[in-house]
Amino acid sequence: MDRPLTYHEQMNIENTSRLRNVLAQLPPFSRDYFRAIEPTTSSKTRISYAYDLRIFFNYLIENNPMYKNYTTRDFTLEDLDRLQAVDIEEYQEYLKLYDSDDKMVTNTEKGLARKMSSLRSFYNYYYKHQAIKNNPAQLVSMPKLHEKAIIRLDVDEVASLLDFVENCGNQLKGQRKAYYEKTKFRDLAIMTLLLGTGIRVSECVGLDLNDVDFNNNSIKVTRKGGNQMYVYFGPEVENALTDYLEITRKNTIPLPGQENALFLSSQRKRISVRTVEDLVKKYSSQVTPNKHITPHKLRSTYGTNLYRETGDIYLVADVLGHKDVNTTKKHYAALGDERRRKAASAVILRENTSNTHHRTDK
């Protein structure tokens, strides 16, 4: 009997299938680019790049008179070489607000930067291989990313949130109460795991039953880029996972092909990222209505608490799976200031300073 596919293997297959469908809509020469970046990128990154490039070529058809009779398949490397920096600048402006399938689309600074990065990477490949003589994308400044305040839960809010997940059924009636009771231990296990380990939501939904090791209190997660890592958890996570496995998971019959999934949806298949995002929003909006809490905010909360307890930025970077510790430093720099501020009063030079200032020896 063949080994069942893991969540990440299934996602790779789905993304590869999507990529092939999108490539059929892109200029034929673009296949060389995607073949070249395959060894160094994830399938998720490649499909994102493909979607971005499809937007670019559709933009040229709709907005550049030279290409009004083109389809996306008609573009050649000569067309790519013909474009100038001003064409790329106009495209960047277009991305801020455009119409797609009769729906207005906007891009945040981060979304805009990613789409421009996709186009830069595309141009760089052909320029590097001397397939084109000009690289106008490189001449256009990338959009500036403004720092945003990191939203995270305070210690008392973490406790209130978990208490609410565990006990809010007392406030419910009828069908809502029945649904809550059915998902209570699963939801509490997910929330406790996210808050107690800082794993990403994609890593959480990708967990299989055999990824949990209670002998070592660890889970095996597949990080961004496909690397696997063991993440360790404490007694609270252990208890929440044990309750879920013994009370809920053991008594649920998964759909065929879903037997290995740790967390199941109410449809008895592997829970989705969207479902976890929704349940985090559902519970947190009742406890901290003024904070927009997402699974990533729970990850930031864990990182914050770990840094406050240890003061070890390299440990935080390692546990969170950051490839570059500078990413971690950028997120938790303010906490470093907080610790340094405490240092100002940690060392006592003279006892009762206010009194000794006027003291005279007898």
The answer to whether residues 109 and 143 touch, using CB atoms and an 8 Å cutoff, is: yes
Determine if residue 12 is left, alpha or beta; phi over 0 gives left, psi from -120 to 50 gives alpha, anything else beta: alpha
> 3-class SS at 103?
strand
Identify the DSSP state of 197. Answer: H
Rg (CA), the chain: 26
Q: Looking at residue 150, what is its pLDDT?
A: 78
Reply yes or no on whether the pLDDT at 291 is more than 90.
yes
Q: How far is CA 255 from CA 180, 187, 258, 269, in A?
A: 21, 20, 5, 6
CATH of domain 166-329: 1.10.443.10
Reply yes or no on whether the pLDDT at 331 is more than 90.
no
Q: Which residue has the tokens 């060392």?
A: 347
55-64, 148-157, 271-280, 288-297: range with lowest mean pLDDT = 148-157
Report the distance separating Cα 279 and Cα 109, nearest Å.
27
Reply yes or no on whether the pLDDT at 66 is more than 50.
yes
Report the distance separating Cα 218 and Cα 232, nearest Å.
4
The answer to whether residues 219 and 260 touch, using CB atoms and an 8 Å cutoff, is: no
Q: How many CB atoms lie within 10 A of CB 155?
A: 11
pLDDT tens for 235-253 read 999 999 999 999 999 999 9
The identity of residue 225, as a single letter, is G
Report the distance separating Cα 245 and Cα 251, nearest Å.
9
Sheet architecture: strand order including 228-232: 212-213, 218-222, 228-232
Identify the DSSP state of 29. Answer: T
Share of the chain above pLDDT 90, in %: 72
> How is domain 7-139 classified at the CATH fold level?
DNA polymerase; domain 1 (1.10.150)
Report the distance separating Cα 14 and Cα 338, nearest Å.
45
pTM over 0.85: no
Name the average pLDDT for the chain.
90
pLDDT tens for 104-127 read 999 999 999 999 999 999 999 999
pLDDT tens for 121-167 read 999 999 999 999 999 999 999 988 887 777 899 999 999 999 999 99
Q: Looking at residue 323, what is its pLDDT?
A: 83
CA-CA-CA-CA dihedral for 280, 271, 224, 235, to nearest 10: 60
pLDDT-derived band of residue 362, with 50, 70 and 90 as boundaries? very low
Q: Looking at residue 339, what is its pLDDT?
A: 58
The identity of residue 314, as a single letter, is Y
> 3-class SS at 358?
coil
Q: Is the dihedral of CA 75, 80, 83, 89 positive or negative?
A: positive
Reply yes or no on whether the pLDDT at 274 is more than 50.
yes
Reply yes or no on whether the pLDDT at 359 is more than 50.
no
The identity of residue 109, as a single letter, is E
C-alpha closest to that of 7 among 298, 199, 204 = 204
pLDDT tens for 167-210 read 998 888 899 999 999 999 999 999 999 999 999 999 999 999 99
Q: Looking at residue 308, what is its pLDDT?
A: 87
Q: Is the dihedral of CA 45, 47, 49, 51 positive or negative?
A: negative
175-179, 315-319, 350-354, 356-360: range with lowest mean pLDDT = 356-360
Q: Looking at residue 183, what is its pLDDT?
A: 95
**SS3 for 73-98, per residue?**
HHCCHHHHHHCCHHHHHHHHHHHCEE
Angle of the 174-197 helix axis to the 235-243 helix axis, nearest 10 = 150
Q: Looking at residue 356, what is its pLDDT?
A: 47
Strand ranges, E, within the chain: 97-100, 103-106, 212-213, 218-222, 228-232
| Cα separation of the two ends of the chain | 93
Domain ranges within the chain, ordered by starting residue: 7-139, 166-329
- The count of residues in the chain is 362
Give mean pLDDT, residues 354-362: 49
